[in-house]
Amino acid sequence: MSGPGRSGERTGGRRMLVVGAHSADFVWRSAGTVAAHTATGGEALVVALTYGERGESGVLWKEEGQTEENVKRIRHEEATSAAAAVGAGFRAFDLGDYPLHVSQESVAELAELMRDFAPHVVLTHPEKDPFNPDHPVAHEAVARARLLTSGAGVASGFRTAPPSEFLAFEPHQPELCGFVPTVYVDITPVFDRKAEAMSCMAAQRYLQEYYAQRADQRGNHARKVTGNQDIRQAEAFHRLLPNVVGAL
């Protein structure tokens, strides 16, 4: 039975793949969920299609004489540390941001990674984001790679991996991206891990307070849905495919 995560659910033996357009995207939107996954025995891998070196490294570009190569080097260290803080591995494709273009070769590389890692759950951006040129491109590439990985649900003439759960993490301005939460993940027990991951992202310090507040607000919503007063922080997701359960 595969179903939505419940507080305290064991994830032992499960693999989570998070794919972001930029190296810090996973931190703000899903670091708590990654931490909850690994804290209960799951394995997690973060893939960044770019470092966000041009478009999402604001603080670093205030330094005189800054170069793209140096920004990428710093962003690689930040993301590796942030992923480690929540128990995940980190891999960068370094495809270049603003604008991100994902070639068919890179989609094929991502599909090959998915076949090797065989994730049980895949997280990425929603389909739409009127404020960002790269996030929808990342969504499309991940959706395509996932389909190439899983095939059509019948025997295929290529190597496949089992179908995975597929969810979008919460964008910066959810209403304008058409994002409606269908899953809240209780990240209360691991919120300190998310806070540490966020603190690794020095190039985007301005987002740390914002996303800590978001986690509190989603915690409030999750309390309301469940009646569980112990939930303090949560992260929101939109399920892109139905989940299948044995009973309701």
The residue ranges that bind Zn ion (CB under 5 A) are: 21-22, 25
Rank residues 100 and 161 by Cβ distance to Zn ion and give the closer one: 100
Distances (CA, A) of 157 to 120, 148, 150, 151: 22, 11, 12, 9
Please report how close the Cβ of residue 159 comes to Zn ion at its closest, in angstroms.
31
Count of all residues that appear for the chain in the document: 248
Closer Cβ to Zn ion, 129 or 165, answer by number: 129
Alpha-carbon separation of residue 173 from 29, 131, 170, 241 (angstroms):
12, 9, 8, 22
For 168, the token pair is: 């979008």
Query: CB of residue 235 vs Zn ion: minimum separation in angstroms?
Result: 16
Phi, psi of 150 (to 5 degrees): -95, -15
Cβ closest to Zn ion, residue 49 vs residue 231: 49
Q: How far is the CB of 35 from Zn ion (least distance, A)?
A: 20
User: Which residue's C-beta sits nearest to Zn ion?
Assistant: 22
Tokens of 69: 């190569």
For the bound state, the minimum distance from the C-beta of residue 244 to Zn ion, rounded and expressed in Å, comes to: 31
Is residue 83 within 8 Å of residue 31, measured between CB atoms? no
Burial of 4: CB neighbours in 10 Å, binned 0-12, 13-18, 19+? middle
What pairs with residue 48 in β-bridges? 20, 92
Which lies closer to Zn ion via its Cβ, residue 21 or residue 207?
A: 21
3-class state of residue 245 by DSSP: coil
167 vs 207, beta carbon nearer Zn ion = 207
Asked whether the CA dihedral 181, 160, 117, 5 is positive or negative, the reply is: positive
CB of 77 to Zn ion, least distance (A): 18
CB-nearer residue toward Zn ion: 15 or 172 = 172
Nearer to Zn ion, 25 or 186 (CB): 25
Q: How many CA atoms lie within 13 A of 205 on its CB side?
A: 3
Smallest separation, CB 217 to Zn ion (Å): 20
- Least distance (Å) between residue 12 CB and Zn ion: 31
